Chain A
Amino acid sequence: MTNFNIKEHLQACRSKEETFKALVTLSKNLPRLSEEEKTDENKVKGCESAVWLIEATMDGKRHFKADSDAKLMRGVLVALLSLVEGKTIAEIQAMDLKAELTELNLSSYLTSSRTNGVLSIIKKLTSC
C-alpha cells in the first residue's frame, strides 16, 4: 500500500468501527519482526500491548521496522511509519505527528497513552 492509499483509506472512515476495520486491513501490511529482533532493548515502554521498534539510519535517512502483539497496534504502526519512513531526523522532528495522526482519524489512539502508548512510540521515533 502506498502512503497515499494509507491516508485515503483511513480518512475515508466515518466511524470508530470503520477505523477499526481499516486498521485491521492495514495491519496485514506490516512485515513481522523475527523473535531475535524482539529484544527488551527494542521494546517501547509504556504500551499495554508489546511494541518493538528498530531504527537504522543510512545516508542520514531513518528507516524503521516495528511489530506488536496486538493487531490494531500493527495497523497504527503501518500508518505511523508511513509518515516518517526514509526521512531525516530533522525532518521527523519538524513534523507534528500527533496532528497527522488526528488527520487520519486516529486521535483516540493518542489520548489514552496509558493504555496503548502511541505517545511513547512517537517519542522514540523523534529521539536521536
Chain B
Amino acid sequence: MTFDPLSIRSSFPILNQMAHGHSLAYLDNAATTQKPLCVLDAIQDYYRNTNANVHRGAHFLSVRATNQFEGARDTIARFINAPTQSHVIWTKGTTEAINMVTYGLEHLLEKNDEILITSLEHHANLVPWQQLASRTGAVLRILPLEANGQWKAECESYFTQKTRIFAATQVSNAIGVSTPLQTMLSLAKEQGAMTLVDGAQVVAHYPVDVETLDCDFYVFSGHKMYGPTGIGVLYGKIPALEALTPYQTGGEMVRKVSYQATEFNDLPYRLEAGTPNIEGAIGLAAACNFLTEQDRPALLAWEQSLATYTYKRLKSEKSIILYSPETNTTLVSLSVSNIHTMDLNAYLDSQGIGVRSGSHCAQPLMTELGIEGTLRASFACYNTIEEANRFCDVLIEAIDILGDE
C-alpha cells in the first residue's frame, strides 16, 4: 500500500500521548475524529486576525469575517457538489439538521401520511421523525433492511402513495454497513416522497455528490470529518428548503420587521436565525480542504484495509460474534458471548485503547440483533496496523481474563 499513515499522523499532535501508561490508540473515530493542525490553525487565525460579527457591520473586520464565513459555505458546497452556496444551511450538526427538517415539514403532514425510515438508523434519524409523527398523526414505518444492509424482497412494498417522507442513513454507525441507498431513493421518488439522507458516517471517508444522489436533503456533522464540534450542514434542494418553516426565528433571518409582521430573508439566511457559529464554519471549511488535498481513494482504501484486517484476525476467535461486514467498511463491531461489552471496553481503556461500547444510539437495531450492545473499533486515516493489532491482542487478552468464572 502506498499510503503512509505516519506522515498524516504528524498533523494530529493529540494522538501522540500516553493513556494510562500506554501509548494512546484512538479507535473511536465514528463517534468523532481528531482535528488536524490546519483546522486548529484556521480557528486560531480567525480569532487572532478576523473576529467580528458577520453580515452586519460595514467595517474592516466584519467584511473580512463575512467573506471568510461565506467562503466557507462555498467550500462546503463544492465539497458535496451542491450547485450553489444557497443550498448549504449551517447547523449545529446532523441532529439539528434533522430537527430543522422535521419541524419545518410539519405543516405538510396530515393524519395517516407515512414517514418511512430504515431499521439501521441512529436515534438522531429516528426520534425526531417519531415525534413528528406523534404531533401530526402521521405513521412512522420502518423499512426492514437485513442486518447486513441487504434488501429484502418485501421492502419494496413499504414505498406507497402514502409515503410522504423517506429518510435513511447512507452508512450505519453501529454496524458499519452501507444501505442500498440508490434503490431506496428511486422507489421513494417514484411515490413522490421527499427524501433525506443521513451522511454523518460518510463524509470523512467517501466522496459525497448530492447532485448524483438527487435527494431533497443531505445532512452531516463537522466533527466526524476532522472538523470542529458544534457545526454541521443541512444541504437541500431549493424547493425543499423553501418548503421548510424556519424552526427558529430572530435576527439575521429577516428582511423586514414591524410589530405586526415579519418578512423572512432569502435562503440560506432564512433558516439561520441569530449569530452563526462562525469559527465552526471556518474550521469545517479547513477540514474540507484538508480532505480535498489528500489522495482520498488511498485514504479510504487504507481505512477499509484496517477494518478488514481486524475482521480477519478476529473471525477465527470462537467467542467473538462480528456484526460489521468483512469488507467495504471502516469499522469493526462485535460482541463476545457471555462477556459484557462494558467490561471489554474497560480493559481496552486500561491499555490505552479508546473504543466505544453500547448501543451506539441504535437501540431498536440492537434489540433486533438480540444484543444489549456491541464493541466498536472505528478507523480514520491516521490509524496504523500496529493499532489494529494492539486492539486484537488486547481484546483477546480481555476475553481471557474476563472469561474464566
Contacts and interface: CB of A to CB of B under 8 A. Distances in A.
Given A48-B358, A115-B358, A20 B350 contact: yes
Nearest to B356: A115
A39 B139 CA distance: 33
Given A49-B342, A71-B339, A72-B342, A16 B402 contact: no
A115 B342 contact: yes
A100 B7 CA distance: 46
A71 B351 contact: no
| Interface residues of chain A: helix, strand, loop or mixed (majority) | helix
Contact of A72 (B346, B358, B405): B346
B59 interface: no
A72 B357 CA distance: 14
Interface in B11-25: 20-21
A123 B343 CA distance: 23
Contacts of B373: 48
A115 B31 CA distance: 15
B401 interface: yes
A24 B402 contact: yes
B340 interface: yes
Nearest to A71: B343
B106 interface: no
Given A17-B20, A20-B346, A71 B340 contact: yes
A125 interface: no
B21 A70 contact: no
Given A16-B350, A71-B402, 19 more contacts: A15-B21, A15-B350, A16-B21, A17-B20, A17-B350, A17-B351, A19-B350, A20-B350, A48-B342, A49-B342, A49-B372, A50-B372, A69-B372, A70-B342, A70-B343, A71-B340, A72-B342, A72-B343, A115-B342
A87 interface: no
B20 A16 contact: yes
B20 A15 contact: yes
A38 B208 CA distance: 48
B346 to A, nearest CB: 5
Nearest to A109: B346
10 tightest A-B CB contacts, nearest first: A70-B340, A16-B350, A16-B20, A17-B350, A70-B342, A20-B350, A71-B343, A49-B342, A72-B343, A70-B343
Contacts of A115: 342, 358
B347 interface: yes
Interface string B366-404: 000000110000000000000000000000000001100
A15 B343 CA distance: 16
Contacts of B401: 21, 24
A48 to B, nearest CB: 6
Nearest to A75: B343
A101 to B, nearest CB: 15
Interface string B337-364: 0011011001101110000011000000
Interface in A4-62: 15-17, 19-21, 24, 28, 48-50
Contacts of B402: 24, 71
A73 interface: yes
Contacts of B358: 48, 115
A72 B402 CA distance: 9
Contacts of B405: 28
Contacts of B343: 70-72
B58 to A, nearest CB: 47
Nearest to A17: B350
Contacts of A71: 339-340, 343, 402
Contacts of A72: 340, 342-343, 346
Contacts of B342: 48-49, 70, 72-73, 115-116
A20 B20 CA distance: 12
A32 to B, nearest CB: 11
Residue of A21, A28, A48, A50 with most chain B CB atoms under a 10 A cut-off: A48
A23 to B, nearest CB: 8
Nearest to A23: B346
B340 A20 contact: no
Contacts of B346: 20, 72
